[in-house]
A = this chain, B = another copy of it.
Amino acid sequence: MTTPRSARPRPSDSAPGATGTPSAAGAPGSLEELAAAPLSLRERKKLKTRQTLRREALRLFTEQGWEATTVDQIAAAAEVSPSTFFRYFPVKEDLLLTDEYDPLMADAIRARPKDEPFLTSAREVLVGLVRRMLAEEERTELYERMRLASSVPSVRVRMLEGSGQPRGMLLDLLAERTGLDAGTLELRVTAAAISAALTETSLYWADHGGRDDLADLLDQALRSLQHLQELGAR
């Protein structure tokens, strides 16, 4: 009854991606409509398994905690074998971190005026997206996910890394916008900073019991990035 473990890049998760701002578990909303490929039976079953695993896992985590819940239990609750579990979520943490919103973000940012400061574009888009997420998804489930993400160290770790995913995306967008190479230190630092702000905001929100308006917090966080240089100068 202990021992979290594991934090490794998932070798190749067929699922969307991980992000610093976890969100919809299986949120059937505008997302499905977008990628509304007429799912085959096989694909529907897979999706269902994935959702069941995530739902059962979340339930167990809430009931008995992260560490006390083993992969075997989750698999049993979802009525699949442990082998299958690992096929869907190569690492346990992924249960909380996989996300479906990233592609939307990219498109929305690309749609902003090209002469707008990138940070402003990002802020507008992200704040808007968060508002939509909160509207679509049960606030409680989102909160539970973030609460776990913020309180379970190994998840927190993975969330911070999760920076990985959206950071890469932010980086690409930045490169497009500025015309600079994505490898440039300045761009990498910028993407990392924005990503860190996202993560920090999520954690802050969870730390405060989900009482604040997440969208407002995010807005505030990204604005304070703009004023970094003044801070402390009195």
Contacts and interface: CB of A to CB of B under 8 A. Distances in A.
Interface of A: 3-9, 114-121, 153-154, 156-158, 160-161, 163-164, 174, 177-178, 185-186, 188-190, 192-193, 195-197, 199-201, 204, 217, 220-221, 224-234
Contacts of A188: 200, 204
A160 B188 CA distance: 14
Chain A facing B: main interface SS:
helix
Given A186-B220, A193-B228, A232-B178, A8 B199 contact: no
Contacts of A156: 161
Which of A7, A116, A197, A199 has its CB near the most chain B CB atoms (within 10 A)? Answer: A7
Contacts of A192: 196-197, 199-200
B116 A233 contact: yes
A6 B119 CA distance: 35
Contacts of A226: 228-229
A157 B161 contact: yes
29 contacts: A5-B5, A5-B6, A7-B154, A8-B154, A9-B153, A117-B233, A118-B233, A157-B157, A157-B158, A157-B161, A160-B163, A161-B161, A163-B196, A174-B232, A177-B232, A178-B231, A178-B232, A185-B217, A185-B224, A186-B221, A186-B224, A189-B196, A189-B201, A189-B224, A189-B225, A190-B228, A193-B196, A193-B225, A225-B228
